Amino acid sequence: MHCSHRPPCPGCPRFGVAGIAPAAGDALGSLARKHGLPAVPIISGPATGFRHRARLAIRGRLGSPKIGMFELGTHHVVHIPSCCVHHPVVNDVAGIVRRALVDRRVSSYSEGTHHGLARYLQVVVERRSETVQVVLVGNCPNAEPLAPCLDLIQERLGTSLHSLWFNGNTGSTNTILGPTFQRWSGPDSVVEHFGGAGVHYPPGAFGQSNLDVAQDIIEHVRREIPAGARVMEFYAGVGAIGLSILEAASVLKLNEIAAQSLQGLALGVAGLDATQRDKVSVIPGAAAAEGSLAAAADADVIIADPPRKGLDRELLDHLRDRPPKRLLYISCGLASFLEDTEQLLAGGKLRLTSLTAFNLLPYTEHVEMLARFEHA
């Protein structure tokens, strides 16, 4: 397998190498052996075309913009028009947007001067329709300076366009998305299905890029939910996991803090039938908040899918001292997962009974883990 963008594109440091990074495999294997578990299964998906979601930087000269990835340690963009890990539609959209920027003479952003209009492009492919949610991030408070370009993008994408959005980011930080979204056309959210209810992704909500492997993770979680269980999920996002287990659960409580994810979660819950909707309650706020922890008191199963830094300390202490019958911990940070596991087991009330690895971001050092802990 060959990639014409390497080097200097840094997106796939282990390009062409199958499986997870050896250091990650060794660490998980050691943990499994320590707790008497079998060899850790590693679940992988397609080797190319798997990224249904991409955030790409826009930099370069007027009339010659580059759309792609920053070189390591710089704000120099590597133009990647034919990325082989992107879904092909992502590459098509990036090409159309680039030509629209040229034809409407839109300047690209420069960190050095904090001038230039076009900063980033976000593309999300909806699997069932293969249409695209497109967000153009501008260095301006509203969409007016980019209106001619947005109109041209909408025209040229035609029926392949799901929705088009402007995002305003006038800050001088490395944050990609700003606080302001303006819908130019199309529905509020991309909708995905992971074996259950529709899951809604507004343009600012977090979503996995590798949906095939994400679906494998969710299927593994679904098999771990006993019929009739009372379930609480922390860091629930838009409900991709939680809404998929509704058939098995008798009660489902979903905790989330991010506003755009809560918006998507509300859309997903609103789309349920009355019987399913009555099972669900949403607890907005931090996982560490007293109200969130109190809501977990009667849960048979707790699901936690924290960010890379791991569990909030207050939640970790709660799970260690007052564990449920079953804890399902989905982790995207190996170091924090190993530390959290040591702390969770230190109280002697939980035991690690299952561990699975998922190659969610192939060709990187990243590994996703699903661990099952049970009451000792």
The CATH number of residue 215's host domain is 3.40.50.150
Quick one: 292 exposed, middle or buried, by C-beta within 10 A (0-12, 13-18, 19+)? buried
- Round to whole Å and give the CA distance between 118 and 140: 9
1 located within any domain: no
Runs of H (alpha helix) within the chain: 22-34, 88-103, 147-157, 211-222, 259-270, 274-277, 290-295, 313-321, 334-346
Predicted confidence (pLDDT) per residue in 31-45, tens digit: 999 999 999 999 999
Q: pLDDT over 90 for what percent of the chain?
A: 99
Do both 114 and 233 map to the same domain? Answer: no
Do both 328 and 250 map to the same domain? Answer: yes
**Average pLDDT value for residue range 90-114:** 97
Do both 95 and 112 map to the same domain? Answer: yes
Read off the pTM: 0.96
**DSSP 8-state secondary structure symbol assigned to residue 269:** H
Do both 156 and 215 map to the same domain? Answer: no
What separation in angstroms does the CA of 33 have from each of 27, 37, 297, 337?
10, 6, 32, 16
Q: Give the CATH number, domain containing residue 180.
A: 2.40.50.1070
182 located within any domain: yes
Out of 3, 9, 140, 332, pick the active-site residue: 332
Query: Which structure tokens are listed for 254?
Result: 């979903």
Do both 40 and 67 map to the same domain? Answer: no
Where does a domain end: 129, 155, 187? 187
Do both 231 and 369 map to the same domain? Answer: yes
Helix (H) or strand (E) holding 69: strand 64-70
Do both 168 and 244 map to the same domain? Answer: no
Query: Which structure tokens are listed for 289?
Result: 């908040």
139 located within any domain: yes
**Residue range(s) defining the domain that contains residue 100:** 53-187
Please provide the distance, in angstroms rounded to a whole number, between the alpha carbons at the two ends of the chain. Answer: 47
pLDDT score for 187: 98
Positions of E strands within 112-168: 118-126, 131-138, 161-168
Query: Which structure tokens are listed for 11?
Result: 């997106």
Do both 152 and 240 map to the same domain? Answer: no
Predicted confidence (pLDDT) per residue in 123-143, tens digit: 999 999 999 999 999 999 999
**Interacting residues of 23 by C-beta distance below 8 A, sequence separation 6+:** 365
Do both 161 and 41 map to the same domain? Answer: no
Query: Which structure tokens are listed for 210?
Result: 């590798």
Judge whether 332 counts as a catalytic residue.
Answer: yes
Do both 180 and 223 map to the same domain? Answer: no
Do both 176 and 260 map to the same domain? Answer: no
Residue 53 pLDDT > 90, yes or no?
Answer: yes
